[in-house]
Amino acid sequence: MRKVAIDGETLTIEDVVAVARNDAEVEIPQKTRKKVTRCRHILEEFVKEKKVVYGVTTGFGALGSVKIPTKDIKQLQFNLIRSHASGVGKPLDRDVTRALMMLRVNTLAKGNSGIRLKTLETLVHMINKGVHPVIPEKGSVGASGDLSPLAHMTLVMIGEGEAEYKGKKMSGREAIDKAGISPVELDSKEGIALINGAQMMTAVGVLAVYDSETLIRTAEIATSMSLEALSGISDAFDEKIHHVRPHPGQVESAKNIRSLTAGSKIIQSSEAVMKMKNRSPQDPYSLRCSPQVLGTARDAVAYARRIIEIEINSATDNPLIFPDDKECLSGGNFHGQPIAVAMDLLGIALTVVGNISERRMARLVDENLSEGLPAFLISGEVEKGIHSGYMSVQYTAASLASENKALAHPASVDSIPTSANFEDFVSMGTIAARKAVEILRNVEYIVAIELLCAAQGIDFRGSDKLGKGTKTAYSVIRKRVPMLKEDRASSRDIETVVELVRNGELAKAVEATMTQKKW
């Protein structure tokens, strides 16, 4: 089994996905253990010297000016966890919970938080033994980090709350007992160290970025198939056009579509098309401008990846301890604004991917716009009007695209003061991340529907005329979903194809046949 070593510095998105979805084990290297232990010793010196340290010898938030007697320091940490476990709504998915736990381990491993090594080891044991806290998805404003979600995580560490273990929900204490893990007796600063940080929004963001990268590649496959199903024009993808407006994503998307359709006997140059009667030498924007649109989404996802990669290797609690200088400084690294803006941008970019996909699909089902395809992609051999073909799937795509337009309103522009106006500007980053995932899932369905319609259109053009990449994609789809020859319930077909989109199987199959790997 793969193992992921944590050091607070070098964690990758792929590492987090391996732990979250493939149950890779987490291990703490000796060097990391020394960093954590050294930082703890510095904190303990501060406590012995009775220094005023926020959240250690004082209350929290608006109560930060209240001095806490030494005898109550431990109780303060327990009370913090219990009071902040105020989340509501359905529990986070298993992979998000595991990602959240992994990210909290990594930030504590930087050696700036003052947590004890054995407390950090408890969280690692929970990941490795499959003890997953039940964490409600709602209740964080993303300012002092994701306080409520992380408090629900920590409840299980102290033998309270609820957890899932081996597929069953039970009390937190029962889960850790069954897994052979001892509950934590929180000491000074450990409560605030465990819950101060943006790990829920970042966990959601890690998985969303990873899945979005697969989705963009698949959307390029769908675009290429639609280009052939609609007997499109090749000129718009010529590299000369994109090199004079060299946005990286645009150049990449155009190159991918050229590669996918290489060898096609269906798409033609504008010069060839102009010899045809009643045919424009230019395609509509949903085809012709697809590199510009999908390329912009590529660039947005790349930006989100860059922000996430910085965040997952950052110290995000407060206060932070700097052992070399023997300093404890209060700041705002817990604030979720970087993630909030990145997730809002991701949601907007994916919404546009869905919008342009739906527009191509609308052309495919419209006999007035599809360059000779039958109405709603149902064969002319059946009596017209008896079968509706793919009429209704476009309704579904239109519904999802419209829903995304409402979801794409940025959460990061909102702020509601909390903690008696002490925390007077919050990020709403967790809401932004959750919305981005909802948009992502909708767009996966929209692209799946486009793939279904494009494959159906290709059936009428002749699959033997396809380009190298599109031929593979068509074959993968047709192995699972037969051509629509008469009406049937389409929901199952959509679910079949969306699974190919979601798990990356379609993209991987196409990439395996291309000389250009991992586009």
Rounded to whole angstroms, the Cα distance separating 125 from 104 reads 13
With b for 16 or more beta-carbon neighbours within 10 A and e for fewer, the 190-218 pattern comes to bbbbbbbbbbbbbbbbbbbbbbbbbbbbb
**54 counts as catalytic:** yes
**H/E element, 96:** helix 94-108
**Residue owning tokens 């450990």:** 190
Beta bridge partners of 88: 138
CA distances from 104 to 23, 150, 288, 334 (A): 16, 9, 45, 12
Other Cβ atoms less than 10 A from the Cβ of 136: the count is 18
In one-letter notation, the amino acid at residue 247 is H
List 303's β-bridge partners, or say none: none
Evaluated on CA atoms 94, 100, 104, 105, the torsion sign reads positive
Return the sign of the alpha-carbon dihedral for residues 204, 207, 209, 215.
negative
Is there a contact between 457 and 287 (Cβ–Cβ < 8 Å)? no
The active-site residue, picked from 54, 165, 210, 445, is: 54
- Which CA distances in Å does 511 have to 1, 56, 224, 455, 480? 26, 53, 14, 18, 19
Rg (the chain; Cα; Å): 27
Spatial CA neighbour of 211 closest among 443, 469, 516, 496: 443
Local structure of 415: helix, strand or coil: coil
Tell which residue, 363, 491, 348, 480, has the closest CA to residue 408. Answer: 348
Which residues lie below 8 Å from residue 154, measured CB to CB, with a gap of 6+?
A: 81, 85, 191, 194, 195
The closest alpha carbon to 336, from 112, 105, 146, belongs to 146
Query: CA 68 to CA 388: how far, in whole Å?
Result: 72
Residue 511 dihedral angles phi and psi, to the nearest 5°: -60, -35
Give residues with Cβ within 8 angstroms of 440, minimum separation 6.
Answer: 208, 211, 212, 215, 346, 347, 350
In degrees rounded to 5, what are phi and psi of residue 291? -65, -35
Going by the DSSP 8-state scheme, the letter that residue 387 receives in this structure is: B
Q: How many helices and strands (H and E) does the chain possess?
A: 20, 9
Name which of 393, 396, 371, 395 is nearest 487 in CA terms.
393
Residue positions annotated with a catalytic role: 54
